[in-house]
């Protein structure tokens, strides 16, 4: 049931138009952070206001919508955002990756490969990959304009010198189409290879007022060095429930004596595998 | 057997139910009415209107009630509501010179046309808890009231301006940009900075202003004038071809007179800081004027001493309490995935370090 006191998908048409223009600009300049006049949403900054605004701007009444947080459809904030669009846009919703036209995500890319008919919308906390090297926006915009990315490579090198590895495990920076260095949002680096995708990928940062995008099949390279190639590692276990050894795993603490198990973070992927008869060690 | 955690939806519904119960408190105690909040917690209402950027005392009272008295939460409710409102147009600039004055003090002149009017101020109260209020406040006796003086109350700055003692502040005739409709791009001009400061968190603004007084970009501020009262809001109606009054708002305006500047070609002049906020919020208005003045260091040819209050990007990026509280509090949302990837990385690094130490010990 749609709440008639608000426009379709909550935002007014002028605002959605403004956001769509930013999205189109983002698609035209892959990886470039487009400033947009982010609105105050009825959920707090940090809860996915950027993603929600992007989803509101791209959803049509015929779309089927899926929301995940940490890979799961039933985490509280995913539930809350799904309910928001059920109420304000009365779109159909699903938990099945394959059935969704638009997927809004926080911190994960679904395991099931996406298709050309899908849009993946990311919630982004800090869109600027250079932010923790240089806190000033005026400076980082200049650095992007001049392709001055040396500082980032120095940081990665310092990690190797200190720890023997690049000590970035999530929000691992990428270079898009050989031009812009981009923050893929705090997805685990395990997900980075999936950034090269047939789907449209849109990134919304509400508080920071930025939108950026990856058009389908964009070249996305995780930053690395010849002698320290990028390594999308994950926990060296199969999923305890579905037995998958190719999915990203959450670690669950099962007792206070050091007991733990590893299960798929992508709940839809895990359920589908179990329904198809794949069983892990602890499945019954 | 392990069953993955489900039931986020039910948990949310139940949490909302509990919240509603807690908001109401003991049902044996009479419920607060919006009228009570608006009339008796007027300074909270003013702050919510100011930082919420929406002048509506009834809605602010509702937000305060719904937010259980949490001011920032109430500001958030107002902001979220505000964005959904259509824009019919812009009012004419309000004329604070024509303000119906409740309070007007100048720290720079002992007496002046229009006089010093203390108004309803805490300034000279002794901060002793009034236990009579706890027992039964009752209705206080009506305060003494003078007949309204129809004489104009000119701005103090005009006296200084006439002598050329204060920097000129001409109307540049430019429509200011709208912070709530365009992304903030830096550097921001003064009009935009003032917009941001007017809705900035009172505590943040106060802290920054205080830091300038303690020497982090000190600018020797005098309160030239602080005035509180109501002004008419007028709007041009295209169909009519003239402006009509559409309502009135209570404002607090603070103009500071600050240390002067001068050069070989220009004689020394005092400089200005400006603060303007909804309702009676003089702490915020004064703080805003001091921070405004500190941010003007560049145009006034002062040194950047590296003080936080001089740093436009720092001030404008961190003054909004709705942005700040959202980002701060979001770290309580699930971060299992990021944390898991860090866990794996740190275990790997520790494994390698232990191996290295063991090898070194063996050698």
| Chain B residues within 8 A of A241 when measuring between CB atoms | 2, 4
C-alpha B7/C-alpha B77 separation (Å) is 27
Same domain, yes or no, for B23 and B59?
yes
| Chain B residues within 8 A of A38 when measuring between CB atoms | 183
Active site residue A206: no
Is B136 among the domain residues?
no
- Give the mean pLDDT of chain B: 92
Cβ–Cβ below 8 Å for A44 and B2: no
Report ipTM for this prediction.
Answer: 0.88
Is B236 among the domain residues?
yes
Is B331 among the domain residues?
no
Is B75 among the domain residues?
yes
CA distance A186 to chain B (A): 7
Task: Work out the average pLDDT over B111-129.
Answer: 91
Same domain, yes or no, for B190 and B293?
yes
Nearest residue of chain B to residue A11 (CA atoms): B84
Is B232 among the domain residues?
yes
| Chain A residues within 8 A of B86 when measuring between CB atoms | 12
Phi, psi of B166, rounded to the nearest 5 degrees: -120, 150
DSSP codes, B72-108? HHHHHHHHHHHTTSPP---PPPP-GGG-EEEEEE-SS
Q: Which of A42, A46, A163 sits opposite B330 (nearest CB)?
A: A46
Q: What is the pLDDT of residue B266?
A: 76
Task: Work out the average pLDDT over B19-45.
Answer: 97
Same domain, yes or no, for B106 and B51?
no
Same domain, yes or no, for B69 and B115?
no
Q: What is the pLDDT of residue B203?
A: 98
Same domain, yes or no, for B245 and B276?
yes
**Of residues A26, A71, A243, A270, which has the active-site annotation?**
A270
C-alpha B73/C-alpha B127 separation (Å) is 28
Q: Quick check: B5 pLDDT over 70?
A: no
Is B68 among the domain residues?
yes
Same domain, yes or no, for B67 and B213?
no
Q: Helix, strand, or coil here: B261?
A: strand
Inform me whether the C-beta atom of residue A74 falls under 8 Å from chain B C-beta atoms: yes
**For A237, what's the count of Cα atoms within 13 Å in the CB-facing half-sphere?**
19
Cβ–Cβ below 8 Å for B337 and A49: no
| Domain assignment of residue B254, given as a range | 97-121+150-169+177-325
Q: What is the pLDDT of residue B3?
A: 53
| Chain B residues within 8 A of A263 when measuring between CB atoms | 2, 4
Strands (E), A142-207: 174-176, 180-182, 200-205
C-alpha B292/C-alpha B320 separation (Å) is 15
Q: Quick check: A5 pLDDT over 80?
A: no
Lowest mean pLDDT among A51-65, A145-159, B251-265: B251-265
Is B278 among the domain residues?
yes
Same domain, yes or no, for B105 and B220?
yes
Same domain, yes or no, for B47 and B73?
yes
**Of residues A26, A51, A264, A280, which has the active-site annotation?**
A264
Active site residue A239: yes
Provide the domain count of chain B: 2
Same domain, yes or no, for B58 and B156?
no
Distances (CA, A) of B206 to A213, B290, B311, B319: 39, 9, 15, 11
Same domain, yes or no, for B311 and B248?
yes
Same domain, yes or no, for B58 and B35?
yes
Q: Which residues pair with B226 in a beta bridge?
A: B105, B254
Which residue intervals of B84-181 are DSSP H helices?
131-136, 156-162
Report pLDDT digits (tens) over B211-254.
Answer: 999 999 998 899 999 999 999 999 999 899 999 999 999 999 99
Phi, psi of B211, rounded to the nearest 5 degrees: -65, -35
Q: Quick check: A182 pLDDT over 70?
A: yes
Same domain, yes or no, for B68 and B164?
no
Q: Quick check: B125 pLDDT over 70?
A: yes
Strands A119-123 and A102-106: parallel
Is B184 among the domain residues?
yes
């Amino acid at each position: 049931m749609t709440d008639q006191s608000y426009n379709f998908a909550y935002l007014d048409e002028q605002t959605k138009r403004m956001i769509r223009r930013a999205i189109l600009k983002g698609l035209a300049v892959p990886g470039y952070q487009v400033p947009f006049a982010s609105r105050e949403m009825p959920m707090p900054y940090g809860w996915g206001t950027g993603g929600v605004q992007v989803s509101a701007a791209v959803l049509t009444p015929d779309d089927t919508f899926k929301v995940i947080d940490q890979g799961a459809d039933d985490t509280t904030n995913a539930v809350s955002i799904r309910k928001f669009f059920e109420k304000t846009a009365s779109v159909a919703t699903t938990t099945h990756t394959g059935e969704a036209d638009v997927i809004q995500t926080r911190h994960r890319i679904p395991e099931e490969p996406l298709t050309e008919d899908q849009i993946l919308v990311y919630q982004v906390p800090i869109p600027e990959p250079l932010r923790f090297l240089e806190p000033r926006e005026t400076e980082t915009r200049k650095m992007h304009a001049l392709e001055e990315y040396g500082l980032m490579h120095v940081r990665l090198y310092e990690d190797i010198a200190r720890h023997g590895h690049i000590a970035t495990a999530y929000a691992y920076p990428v270079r898009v189409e050989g031009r812009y260095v981009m923050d893929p949002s705090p997805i685990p680096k395990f997900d980075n290879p999936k950034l090269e995708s047939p789907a449209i990928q849109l990134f919304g940062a509400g508080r920071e007022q930025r939108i950026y995008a990856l058009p389908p099949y964009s070249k996305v390279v995780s930053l690395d060095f010849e002698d320290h190639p990028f390594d999308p590692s994950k926990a060296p276990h199969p999923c305890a429930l579905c037995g998958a050894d190719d999915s990203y795993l959450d670690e669950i603490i099962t007792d206070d004596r050091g007991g733990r198990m590893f299960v798929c973070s992508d709940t839809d992927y895990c359920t589908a595998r179990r329904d198809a008869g794949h069983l892990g060690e602890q499945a019954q | 057997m392990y069953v993955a955690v489900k039931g986020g939806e039910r948990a949310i519904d139940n949490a909302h139910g509990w919240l509603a119960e807690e908001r109401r408190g003991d049902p044996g105690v009479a419920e607060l009415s919006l009228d009570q909040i608006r009339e008796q917690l007027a300074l909270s209402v003013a702050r919510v209107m100011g930082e919420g950027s929406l002048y509506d005392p009834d809605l602010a009272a509702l937000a305060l009630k719904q937010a259980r008295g949490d001011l920032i939460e109430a500001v958030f409710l107002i902001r979220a509501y505000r964005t959904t409102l259509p824009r019919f147009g812009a009012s004419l600039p309000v004329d604070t010179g024509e303000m119906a004055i409740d309070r007007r003090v100048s720290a720079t002149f002992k007496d002046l046309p229009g006089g010093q009017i203390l108004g309803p101020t805490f300034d000279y109260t002794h901060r002793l808890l009034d236990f009579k209020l706890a027992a039964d406040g009752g209705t206080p006796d009506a305060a003494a009231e003078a007949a309204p003086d129809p004489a104009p109350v000119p701005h103090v700055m005009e006296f200084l301006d006439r002598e050329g003692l204060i920097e000129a502040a001409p109307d540049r005739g430019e429509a200011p940009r709208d912070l709530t409709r365009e992304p903030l791009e830096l550097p921001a001009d003064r009009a935009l900075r003032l917009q941001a400061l007017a809705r900035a968190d009172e505590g943040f603004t106060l802290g920054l202003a205080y830091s300038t007084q303690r020497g982090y970009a000190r600018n020797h501020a005098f309160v030239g004038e602080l005035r509180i009262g109501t002004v008419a809001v007028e709007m041009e109606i295209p169909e009519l071809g003239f402006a009509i009054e559409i309502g009135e708002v209570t404002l607090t305006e603070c103009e500071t007179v600050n240390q002067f500047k001068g050069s070989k070609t220009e004689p020394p002049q005092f400089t200005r800081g400006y603060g303007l906020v909804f309702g009676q919020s003089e702490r915020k208005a004064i703080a805003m004027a001091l921070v405004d003045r500190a941010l003007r260091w560049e145009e006034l040819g002062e040194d950047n001493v590296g003080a936080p209050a001089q740093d436009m990007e720092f001030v404008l990026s961190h003054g909004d309490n709705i942005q700040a509280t959202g980002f701060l509090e979001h770290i309580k949302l699930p971060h299992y995935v990021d944390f898991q990837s860090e866990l794996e990385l740190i275990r790997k690094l520790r494994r390698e370090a232990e191996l290295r130490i063991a090898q070194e010990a063996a050698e």
